[in-house]
Structure 1
């Protein structure tokens, strides 16, 4: 966003405006310095419930933020809204991540570590995640995949975002990678693309097993699975768990294809 922030000392009152980065802050040992989170910040469950809610990721409660008097606010360019962030920047130090790839996510962790004095913990986490993804064995050959995040209307993952990147890492060739961000997909368009695999994400729309049949009617030849959306979209410390989960999905898909 064309801004720099300067910290004269380690921040003691941090607000996180992004669920995956909130979890990262806790995992870096910063729980006692976090004063505010969003209503979508659900991990770690036993710790976030004691923190003040400052609204959602796209609608901040400025009066509550003012009461908390943060010395650092951490957000993300895609998940937060520009007008709200600009309003906060007038009063507070606001640091924004901008994440499209695994490399971006790992760099974010190291930067957060530097800002908060947790470089050692951040470096260890970064190395662990890097090693995990190096061991990930993708589907071979790649399989044409549609990844859905919403129903009524259907919305899928397009190109140029973090989920698309993790799909590629797993050998799932995104059927809608030529479209921007998160396109609306008609049933006719889905049938036309004819993916071999359809993944239904548990978030933001809570797809369940009961939804498989409606996609099976549209694409009877496709393999259809409900997957843990956090493992594909959370770019904080949850990535430490992602390679094992993604490998499990890869293995299940390959078994079903044989």
Structure 2
């Protein structure tokens, strides 16, 4: 494959393009990354950090002379607009589902002349999910799962998270909210609704800050929930599940499955 194909100097404004490009062996194209990047660990050592999620060091990015900046969602619209005004080409992806993540891998690979490798990688990711789903299908009990993306106000899980919970053997208690792409549309107006839906497991991933199960357990009325009563309050680290990239489809779904499968084994004991 011609290595000159596609952009040569890429700034990754979020984590998932960095992880994907490294997985495809195209990391030499990356000239700047998000400060939140932790996967792969070597990226933090090798690449300058030039952005957060809602802000970016525009001047530092321009010094890198990128021919493409890659970001995610409406949250980065202002960053994208500022870079466009400075003549930088920008790709803002907006995928919100498991299938969307797989398609994102393929599109990014094609963009850098690595379409065949990206297709093979996407197939590998899909196969891993199918294996998790097959194991989960053997569970005698499926738990009801409440996923919390933020605590104040409570925000429920986005679509790819809900889908991964299902693949891992559980049922999201707010499936109707998971289809809302914007976080503000997934805010719970009444936190007592969680109690009414009686989740067996609470998964917390508070968008970069440490999950505090004792705070969740102390919420008024929540002691009546099976999850609180049985001590089933678990953290999923944000880098594993809140980025719509390979991490969620690998370590993220495995972390969810480990919690759900352990719960099911205890039910059978």
2:144 equivalent in structure 1 = 144
The alignment status of 1:32 with 2:28, answered yes or no, reads yes
State the distance in 2 between where 1:38 and 1:231 align.
15
Q: Which has the higher helix share?
A: 2
Partner-residue secondary structure (3-state), 2:81: helix
Does the aligned pair in 2 maintain the 1:11–1:116 contact within 8 Å? Answer: yes
> Compared with structure 1, are the counterparts of its residues 244 and 99 closer, same or farther at alpha carbon in structure 2 (3 Å cutoff)?
same
Post-superposition Cα deviations, 1:185-214, rounded to whole Å, max 9, x if no partner, equal 654333233222211226433115555643
The alignment status of 1:195 with 2:204, answered yes or no, reads no
Aligned residues: 248
2:218 equivalent in structure 1 = 214
State the distance in 1 between where 2:21 and 2:27 align.
7
Shift of 1:27: 1.7
2:173 equivalent in structure 1 = 175
Post-superposition Cα deviations, 1:148-179, rounded to whole Å, max 9, x if no partner, equal 1223443332x6x3222222323432222333
1:227 equivalent in structure 2 = 235
1:248 equivalent in structure 2 = 258
Post-superposition Cα deviations, 1:26-72, rounded to whole Å, max 9, x if no partner, equal 22212222111111112222232332222212112211111111011
Q: Which runs of 5+ in 2 are unaligned?
A: none
Deviates more, 1:236-245 or 1:99-108: 236-245
Could you state the TM-score of these two structures normalised by the residue count of structure 1? 0.83
Deviates more, 1:112-121 or 1:189-198: 189-198
State the distance in 1 between where 2:109 and 2:122 align.
10
Deviates more, 1:218-227 or 1:54-63: 218-227
Partner-residue secondary structure (3-state), 1:150: strand
> Compared with structure 1, are the counterparts of its residues 237 and 156 closer, same or farther at alpha carbon in structure 2 (3 Å cutoff)?
closer
Mapping for residues 1-150 of structure 1, pairs under 5 Å: 9-78=5-74, 80-90=75-85, 91-137=87-133, 138=136, 142-150=142-150
2:208 equivalent in structure 1 = 204
